[in-house]
Amino acid sequence: MSDKSTILKPERKTRTERPRLHKVLLVNDDFTPREFVVAVLKAEFRMSDDEAFQVMLAAHKLGLCVVAVFPRDVAETKAGRATDAAKAHGFPLRFETEPEE
Ligand code: TYC
């Protein structure tokens, strides 16, 4: 009689991978007023005045700045809401998302 356990393949290692987080990026432009960028960062990303100002300034100087890191759906929702708020005021301000390495 055959012993079934001897013909079974060894179990695969099942490693549960954590879902990748996504960065929200603030993109510089030449038109959106600095104060408006700061106001959006405070409202949508719950930043203090000082934090929001530093992030705005970094994007202004470097072209881009990471605002925060979230699970994908949260990052996309926040970036979308912030970009829509700017659009509603006639500004081209953009927030983008990308997966973290
Ligand atoms: N560059 C803009 C200005 O000089 C301000 C600004 C900063 C706009 C950061 C977008 O992501 C931005 N009015």
Q: Which residue has the tokens 């929702």?
A: 77
The letter for the amino acid at 48 is S
Residue 82 and residue 36 in contact, taking contact as beta carbons nearer than 8 Å: no
36-49 average pLDDT score: 98
In a domain, 14, yes or no: no
Among 26, 27, 30, 34, the mutation site with the greatest number of ligand 1 atoms within 8 A of its Cβ is 34
H/E stretch holding 19? none
In a domain, 1, yes or no: no
Range of the domain at 50: 21-99
Q: Is the pLDDT of residue 7 over 80?
A: no
Please count the residues of the chain: 101
Q: How many whole angstroms from 73 Cα to the centroid of ligand 1? A: 26
51-61 average pLDDT score: 98
User: Mind listing the pLDDT tens digit for each residue in 70-101?
Assistant: 999 999 999 999 999 999 999 999 999 999 98
Compute the distance between CA of residue 6 and CA of residue 27 in angstroms, rounded to an integer. Answer: 59
Q: In ligand 1, which atom is closest to the CA atom of 65?
A: 11
- Cβ of 33 closer than 6 Å to ligand 1, yes or no, is yes
| CATH number of the domain bearing residue 58 | 3.30.1390.10
> How many domains would you assign to the chain?
1
Global pTM? 0.85
Per-residue pLDDT band at 5 (split at 50, 70, 90): low
In a domain, 6, yes or no: no
